[in-house]
A and B are shown apart, each in its own frame.
Chain A
Amino acid sequence: MVATKSPLKTCVIVIVIAAAVVWTLSPLYYLFLTSVKSASEIMASPPHFLVWPSFETYERILIKEQFYQFFVNSFVISAGATLLALTIGGMGAFAFSHRTFRGKETLFLISLIGRMFPPITTLIPIYIMVKYAGLLDTHLALILIYASFQVPLVLLILRDFFSQIPREISECAAIDGCTPWGVFTRIVLPLAKNGIMAAGILCFVEAWNEFIFALVLTSFKAKTAPVVLATYVENEGTLQWGALAALGVWTVMPTLLFMLFLKKFLIRGLTVGALKA
């Protein structure tokens, strides 16, 4: 931290910070603004930067045209993938932090490689696998795939949190006759609630945001919010600005809520995930 004394420097820093905040928040404001403008206000030139909000577009696109179902899809898929990744990754993280076995570090590093190569490198084979398994356009396919991206992330974050629980505790419980599974579910998991929360939120956000697999693997029934948004731009972009913006607002809503209420967990999980990798 550099202490500032001269008023000129303080002034410059305040302007920089203010400019950065405006730059960051104004695009979101304009998105919201476009979604609550009437059709004629949207086309007004010069553009209006303040309007009396009308939520008629939301009602039309979400309820009457039934776009809400794609947000339900996104929610079901993200929640399912998060639960699956937490289960599989959590069990692995327990073995890596509270059990002893040969080749532990090597296996840990190999498991993380799964996250290093870009998802697009497995897009084509996974499309073919899913196609021949008859799972195209199902929620299940996306849940299984997203979980596979997230298992390494969960492993990384939860191993960190589980390691902070002293091994003496789990060893004592084992001596008292607790099975390894009991140690995991009754001692380690309850003590690492914050870590599970951090990993879970990050998984949910990642799954909610994913685009390319959802684009290739779904066509209608299991379409997710980002795919709907992208295809809406492609098909009606220049006609239905208000509806496009309303869908955009709904797509960013969950992450905005996480950021408002659970910022601590989100940032903790992300710093562990990025820097330890």
Chain B
Amino acid sequence: MRNRSGGILRNPTVMFLLPMVAYLILWRALPLLYTVYLSLNDWNLIKPGGMRFIGLENYVHLVWDARFHQSLWISFFFMVAATAIQTVLAVGLALATDRSFRGKSFVQGSLLLPMFLTPVAVGSIWYILFQPSIGPITYLSGLVGLPKINWLGSAGTALWGVIIADTWQWTPFIYLLVLSALQGIPETVIEAAQIDQASDFVIVWKIMLPLIKGTILVAALLRAMEAFRVFPKIYVMTGGGPGRATEASSILIYKTAFRFFEIGYASAMTIIMLVLLVAAYGFYLKVVRKLTVEY
């Protein structure tokens, strides 16, 4: 650092970094701190009186708030079910398509497509597909003798409807990462096993999967963190209903802040959600480090 006044601004490295650092502080760091501060206040935007500092009172209320607990459970259930289904499907598909065949580039391109589409549009697509009146799903399941379910209209199946839509969109994400890991396995490893007369079953289970375990776990983690905060699909497909059957935490936070205007209380929910995510992330990384293989 130089002592002359204005010297630091003449340092070219600082000039290149300054916009980025200032920008991230203004739009990412300060708002996060402001959320923490808001969570310590009682503030309803439409009631007169403004902001009132109440310390940890919002958090004490949250400990007893059954609606909030239920929303966390729904988010958690959604996260685990969606991530598990998508990981299994993606690994299977990656193993099936990691070979040379005609039309490979078309197949891989199609299989990746949904992950780039607007989540709200994906929600709308499946909203249409699940409609008993105009969608094909009820009709097709009737054809093969399954009961005609109003998927999004009944509390027992609505969340599964959203999970199916989510699976359609995000299996490709895990598929992409697993496929690129499979392509990174040296050919010689597989050839050596084939020379030793290992069956395909053994090659897949004892050689390939252990080698790409690290990638699978990281992909599943990234997916789980996204799944926990699912918002657009639920907003479009069910709006949190029927009743509160699909009211995940992100939906509840949105409603609390922008329908009931309880800014402080919603901020406290946000902080709890963030703490849970960070804790889960730390725990998961520990497990991944133990399981990852180098080759």
Binding site for B on A (CB under 8 A): 1-4, 9, 13, 16-17, 20-21, 23-25, 27-28, 30-31, 34, 42-43, 45-47, 49, 87-89, 91-92, 94-95, 99-101, 107, 111, 114, 117-118, 120-129, 144-145, 147-148, 151-152, 155, 179-181, 184, 205, 208-209, 211-212, 215-216, 225-227, 229-230, 233-234, 237, 241, 244-245, 247-248, 251-252, 255-256, 258-259, 263, 266-267, 270-271, 274-275, 277
Cβ of B107 within 8 Å of any chain A Cβ, yes or no, is yes
In this complex, the interface size class of chain B, counting residues with CB under 8 Å from chain A, is: 35 or more
Contacts of B74-114 to chain A: CB distance below 8 A: 92-93, 95-101, 107, 109-114
- Interface of A (DSSP majority class): helix
Binding site for A on B (CB under 8 A): 12-13, 15-17, 19-21, 23-24, 26-32, 34-35, 38, 92-93, 95-101, 107, 109-114, 116-121, 123-129, 133-136, 139, 168, 172-173, 176-177, 180, 182, 187, 190, 194, 200, 203-204, 208, 215, 218-219, 222, 225, 229, 231-232, 235-236, 239, 250, 253-254, 257-258, 263, 266-267, 270-271, 273-274, 277
B93 A118 Cβ-Cβ under 8 A: no
Task: Enumerate chain A residues within 8 angstroms of B116, measured Cβ to Cβ.
Answer: 205, 255, 258-259, 266
B204 A2 Cβ-Cβ under 8 A: yes
Residue of A nearest to B181 (CB): A275
B96 A211 Cβ-Cβ under 8 A: no
Which of A42, A47, A244 lies at the interface centre, i.e. has the most chain B CB atoms within 10 A of its CB? A47
A124 B229 Cβ-Cβ under 8 A: no
B129 A271 Cβ-Cβ under 8 A: no
Task: Enumerate chain B residues within 8 angstroms of A1, measured Cβ to Cβ.
Answer: 98-100, 182, 187, 190
Task: Enumerate chain A residues within 8 angstroms of B125, measured Cβ to Cβ.
Answer: 27-28, 30-31, 248
Residue of A nearest to B223 (CB): A274
Task: Enumerate chain B residues within 8 angstroms of A123, measured Cβ to Cβ.
Answer: 253-254, 257, 270
Residue of B nearest to A5 (CB): B200
- Interface of B (DSSP majority class): helix
Of A23, A126, A244, the residue contacting B124 (CB under 8 A) is: A244
Distance of B236 from chain A, by nearest CB (Å): 5
5 chain-A/chain-B pairs, Cβ below 8 angstroms: A2-B200, A17-B97, A31-B125, A248-B128, A259-B109
Task: Enumerate chain A residues within 8 angstroms of B254, measured Cβ to Cβ.
Answer: 120, 123, 212, 216
Distance of A159 from chain B, by nearest CB (Å): 12
A43 B127 Cβ-Cβ under 8 A: no
B93 A16 Cβ-Cβ under 8 A: yes
Taken together as a complex, chains A and B put the C-alpha atoms of A266 and B173 apart, in Å, by: 13
Which of B99, B120, B203 lies at the interface centre, i.e. has the most chain A CB atoms within 10 A of its CB? B120
